[in-house]
Amino acid sequence: MTPNTNNILRLSREISTSKSKDLVIIHGGGSFGHPLAKEYKISEGYTGEKQLKGYSLTHQAMVQLNKIIVDSLLEAGLPAVSVTPSSFIITTNKRITTIDTTLIARYLTTGMVPVLYGDTILDTKMKFTILSGDQLAVRLATELKAKKLIFGVDVDGVYSANPKIDVNAEFFKEFSVSQLKNTKIGGALSTDVTGGMLGKIIEAEEAVKSGVNVILLNALKVGLIYQVLKGETVKGTVLRR
Amino acid sequence: MTPNTNNILRLSREISTSKSKDLVIIHGGGSFGHPLAKEYKISEGYTGEKQLKGYSLTHQAMVQLNKIIVDSLLEAGLPAVSVTPSSFIITTNKRITTIDTTLIARYLTTGMVPVLYGDTILDTKMKFTILSGDQLAVRLATELKAKKLIFGVDVDGVYSANPKIDVNAEFFKEFSVSQLKNTKIGGALSTDVTGGMLGKIIEAEEAVKSGVNVILLNALKVGLIYQVLKGETVKGTVLRR
């Protein structure tokens, strides 16, 4: 459990100084949730009683990471407020089937910035599983009719191959899910060591369809999150239908 | 923020070794939530933008206390799991008007022990306020049709006066809200330095009416929580209609 404190505080400041309205923040598990979720096989659903402690420990790890992030956002002057996905969402075979976003909407009208995360989750078929921050972000963006959905990742956007290992990887300024039928790209994305680029694109399709502007960009590059929140054009991949 | 670590671990062990089924645990704010809630006047509702940070800080303090308690319960071998009240409950003028207990019920059937707490809360009239653990406990006991509702306090139960300052205070083995009309008792209870004994009794009336067995007992006395969970008769005050 090693938080990247410098980047968390820098991003907190970029978000805060952008003075964005009606903002919702979702973060993933990083080095907090993933190792425990893997150890107790939480995403595979209930297989035995021993997992119950693991479910709780995984959630506790996420609570701890969320606390670090919310504290950092508060320090940066943003009225951030923690909202716990596993306390109001239920999935069925890993897909969200129960969610009431009125509480999130109410936080927004009160002037606060809800901060959610990928979390352990109760599931009507598997008893429990893992809900990804990606699925949650897309669902919230769609239900709350967001104008923009920004995925901050550790590469510049979508490439034809993993840019970290293939120097010939082609960068896409625009990308559509239909391009995934090109199996070379789909194959490359699915084995992406950064994990989940393919997952993000497939999840995000739903938001794109609903008219949300979806962009993937490199959150490690200083200033990019600030600029995109200010409405400036930045390097990144815009998803298209 | 000074957790009574010894008592938390002792109570965790008493609860765990009692092997109780279908258990829900609710705790209050102690030295964590109360000072911040008071400083930012959260229970009085929205009066200005400065409170937004205070709302979040108060909630964060409760998250921190809850983490200590859930970690302690896990250490004692109980499959405890944290559930965040402010993520699924909304009040109207301080009374719960939006609550879905199916998620809590699902945790119970999965074999876990949900742990909730008094929390900051969104309110449809006041924008936000504080939800007491007492109101939450009574509402959950009523909705989930609990057999028993146990209030662990720092005195033996209900007295005619504050037993900490009045040696002539009479102890009640049984007590009904109608006895509060005796203004001497009501008055004494309302100024109780332990705070909230009157509040607990008034809240608990709803559970008593619904047929829940409500008992107040001294959780500081070693073994009492274990015994009452085992179904044994212990010193305490049973509430009657």
Given a contact cutoff of 8 angstroms between Cβ atoms, the answer to whether B199 and B134 are in contact is yes
Collect all residues of chain A within an 8 Å Cβ-Cβ radius of residue B82: 56, 59-60, 63, 84
Pick the residue from chain B with its C-alpha nearest to A61.
Answer: B67
Note the pLDDT of residue A13.
98
Collect all residues of chain B within an 8 Å Cβ-Cβ radius of residue A85: 87
State the best of A47, A53, A56, A58 to mutate against chain B, taking most chain B CBs within 10 Å.
A56
All residues at 6 or more sequence positions from A64 whose CB lies less than 8 Å from its CB, including other chains: A1, A32, B67
Burial A25-38 (b: 16+ CB within 10 A, else e): bbbbbbebbbebbe
Work out the mean pLDDT of chain B and round it to a whole number: 92
Distance from CA of B218 to the nearest CA of A (A): 29
A70, A71, A87 member nearest B87 (Cβ): A87
Split at pLDDT 50, 70, 90, the class of B186 is: low
Tens of each residue's pLDDT in chain A, 241 residues: 889 999 999 999 999 999 999 999 999 998 899 999 999 999 999 999 999 999 999 999 999 999 999 999 999 999 999 999 999 999 999 999 999 999 999 999 999 999 999 999 999 999 999 999 999 999 999 999 999 999 999 899 998 887 888 888 889 999 998 887 765 665 556 554 434 688 888 899 999 999 999 999 999 999 999 999 999 999 999 999 8
Nearest to B12 by CA among B83, B77, B63, B67: B77
B1 compared with B126, residue with greater pLDDT: B126
**Residue count of chain B:** 241
Residues linked to residue B153 through DSSP beta bridges, in sequence order: B218
- A37 vs A42: CA distance, rounded Å: 5
C-beta atoms of B111 and A52 within 8 A: yes
Q: Using alpha carbons, list the distances in angstroms from residue A113 to A39, A73, A148, A239, B216.
A: 32, 9, 15, 25, 39
Pick the residue from chain A with its C-alpha nearest to B110.
Answer: A127
Distance from CA of A127 to the nearest CA of B (A): 7
- A153 vs B54: CA distance, rounded Å: 31
- B11 vs B15: CA distance, rounded Å: 6
Collect all residues of chain B within an 8 Å Cβ-Cβ radius of residue A111: 49, 52
Strands B119-123 and B90-92: parallel
Collect all residues of chain B within an 8 Å Cβ-Cβ radius of residue A46: 110
C-beta atoms of B107 and A88 within 8 A: no
Cβ neighbourhood burial of A109 (10 Å; 0-12, 13-18, 19+): exposed
Note the ipTM here: 0.93
C-beta atoms of A49 and B74 within 8 A: no
Helix, coil or strand: residue B139? helix
pLDDT tens digits, residue range B46-102? 999 999 999 999 999 999 999 999 999 999 999 999 999 999 999 999 999 999 999
Note the pLDDT of residue A161.
81
Collect all residues of chain A within an 8 Å Cβ-Cβ radius of residue B84: 82-84, 87
- Write the Ramachandran bin of B21: left for phi over 0, alpha for psi from -120 to 50, otherwise beta: beta
Nearest to A191 by CA among A169, A175, A174, A173: A169
Pick the residue from chain A with its C-alpha nearest to B86.
Answer: A83
- B218 vs B236: CA distance, rounded Å: 7
CATH class of B5-240: alpha beta
Q: What is the pTM of this model?
A: 0.95
- A224 vs A152: CA distance, rounded Å: 9
C-beta atoms of B55 and A88 within 8 A: no
Split at pLDDT 50, 70, 90, the class of B185 is: low
Q: Using alpha carbons, list the distances in angstroms from residue A175 to A159, A182, A188, B213.
A: 9, 12, 15, 61
Name residue A25's amino acid. Answer: I
